């Protein structure tokens, strides 16, 4: 009998408690050639940063002697990467894709059949905080300041980011509903950060990797976050700022084609277990204010299925399905 560790994920209004195996069965399968890691976003994004940290740990610890590489495949609400792994490389045990909430949510928005059902989960390893960020010269000092301004100028305050319907935009929508203000979300496919730095966007919701260098350079300010930040302890949480909307978990992990056998999943679980315990990965977690999380295999598959149902309901309530707001 395996011991279990209790983990709680939150998606929309749904709180799920799952039990992850503390240990994995001995893996019979081992790769006989190079393993390719796929990141579904551009090299400047938090998902790619997570994948890079995993890659560095694998190389440093010599966990895959036959070799390992990392490639970024972006496009069409990240569906290009999902299709590459789940369809073109169906059953291929040598290609593993980075997993984030957008991989569950984007197929709902675009009504795509290339969704979670084509994959098997390996592990969720970290949860990233969501930071409410404004330009350094912005008059906003708090979430309350944004709300007050938005109520004076309905629809004029711009929340900008990537594709409308991603986790950050959904959190912004739930905040607006709770605080009863109207804002405009603008999806900047390529220039979102430049628009924020230039003051053309009032605020953004970002992961640490996306904003770290700009905050340190004094070009951006974090005025609130989904959790307490070790590197910025004076920044209040959304809850401390007076808001109770549920924060969607910004988790990061890995999955493969659903057609790989159990021993392949077991092997990669064992590899990622070693990665998360490595000095390189622990340094990455600490420097980016990540929360260590460990949910694997079938327990992860169960939670992803529940996440899909929760996102579907949330997107239906917000009337986002089938919409694609880009500028």
The pLDDT value given to residue 189:
59
**Contact indicator for 292, 126 with CB cutoff of 8 Å:** yes
**pLDDT for 74:** 77
Domain 131-225 has what CATH class? alpha beta
- In our burial notation (b when 16+ CB lie closer than 10 A, e otherwise), range 82-114 reads bbbbbeebeebbbbbbbbbbbbbbbbbbbeeeb
**Distance between CA atoms of 170 and 166, rounded to whole angstroms?**
6
Q: How far apart are CA 316 and CA 319, in angstroms?
A: 5
H/E stretch holding 220 reads: strand 220-225
Burial group, residue 228, by CB count within 10 angstroms (0-12, 13-18, 19+) = middle
Q: Can you read off the two tokens belonging to residue 162?
A: 């990537």
Residue linked to tokens 């408690």: 17
Same fold, 4-128+248-317 and 131-225: yes
Task: Give pLDDT tens digits along the chain (327 positions).
Answer: 223 233 444 443 333 334 344 444 444 899 999 999 999 877 667 888 899 999 999 999 999 999 999 999 976 556 889 999 999 999 999 999 999 998 999 899 889 999 999 999 999 999 989 999 999 999 999 999 999 999 999 999 999 887 676 788 889 989 999 999 999 998 875 566 888 999 989 999 988 878 889 999 999 999 999 999 988 999 999 999 999 988 888 899 999 999 999 999 999 999 999 999 999 999 999 988 899 999 999 999 999 999 999 999 988 988 888 765 443
Helices (runs of H) and strands (runs of E) counted in the chain:
10, 13
Residue 164's pLDDT is: 72
Interatomic CA distance for residues 12 and 5, integer angstroms: 23
291: helix, coil or strand? strand
For residue 293, give the nearest of 272, 311, 309 by alpha carbon.
272
4-128+248-317: CATH topology: D-Maltodextrin-Binding Protein; domain 2 (3.40.190)
User: Across the strands, what pairs with 326?
Assistant: none
Buried b (16+ CB within 10 A) or exposed e, 42-62: eeebbbbbbbbbbbbbbeebe
Nearest one of 151, 169, 171 to 159, comparing CA atoms: 169
Q: Rounded distance, CA 156 to CA 146, Å?
A: 11
DSSP summary character for residue 246: P
Predicted local confidence at residue 320, as pLDDT: 80
Q: Biggest alpha carbon distance in the chain?
A: 63
Burial class (CB in 10 A: 0-12, 13-18, 19+), 311: buried
The helix (H) or strand (E) run that includes residue 108 is helix 101-109
d(CA 162, CA 47): 14
Return the pLDDT at 194. Answer: 84
Among residues 273, 305, 285, which one has the least CA distance to residue 22? Answer: 273
| Pairing status of strand 184-187 against strand 158-161 | parallel
Domain edges within the chain: 4-128+248-317, 131-225
């Amino acid at each position: 009998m395996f011991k279990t560790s209790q983990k709680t994920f939150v998606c929309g209004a749904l709180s799920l408690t799952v039990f992850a195996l503390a240990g994995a069965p001995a893996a019979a399968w081992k790769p006989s050639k190079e393993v390719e890691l796929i990141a579904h976003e551009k090299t400047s994004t938090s998902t790619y940063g997570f994948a890079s940290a995993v890659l560095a740990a694998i190389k440093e610890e010599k966990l895959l002697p036959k070799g390992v590489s990392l490639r970024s495949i972006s496009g069409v609400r990240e569906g290009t990467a999902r299709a590459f792994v789940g369809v073109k490389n169906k059953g291929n045990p040598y290609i593993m894709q980075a997993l984030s909430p957008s991989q569950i949510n984007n197929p709902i928005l675009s009504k795509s059949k290339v969704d979670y059902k084509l994959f098997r989960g390996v592990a969720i390893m970290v949860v990233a905080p969501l930071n409410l960020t404004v330009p350094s010269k912005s008059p906003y000092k708090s979430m309350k300041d944004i709300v007050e301004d938005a109520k004076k100028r309905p629809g004029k305050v711009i929340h900008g980011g990537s594709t409308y319907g991603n986790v950050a935009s959904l959190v912004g929508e739930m905040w607006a509903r709770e605080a009863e203000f109207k804002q405009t979300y603008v999806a900047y496919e390529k220039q979102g950060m430049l628009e924020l730095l230039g003051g053309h966007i009032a605020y953004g919701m970002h992961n640490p990797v996306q904003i770290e260098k700009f905050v340190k350079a004094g070009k951006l300010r974090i005025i609130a976050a989904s959790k307490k930040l070790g590197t910025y302890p004076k920044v209040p949480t959304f809850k401390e700022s007076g808001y109770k909307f549920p924060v969607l978990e910004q988790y990061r992990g890995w999955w493969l084609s659903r057609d790989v056998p159990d021993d392949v999943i077991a092997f990669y679980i064992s590899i990622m277990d070693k990665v998360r315990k490595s000095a390189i990965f622990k340094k990455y977690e600490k420097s980016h204010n990540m929360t260590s999380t460990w949910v694997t295999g079938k327990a992860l598959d169960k939670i992803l299925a529940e996440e899909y149902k929760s996102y579907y309901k949330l997107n239906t309530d917000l009337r986002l399905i089938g919409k694609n707001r880009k500028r």
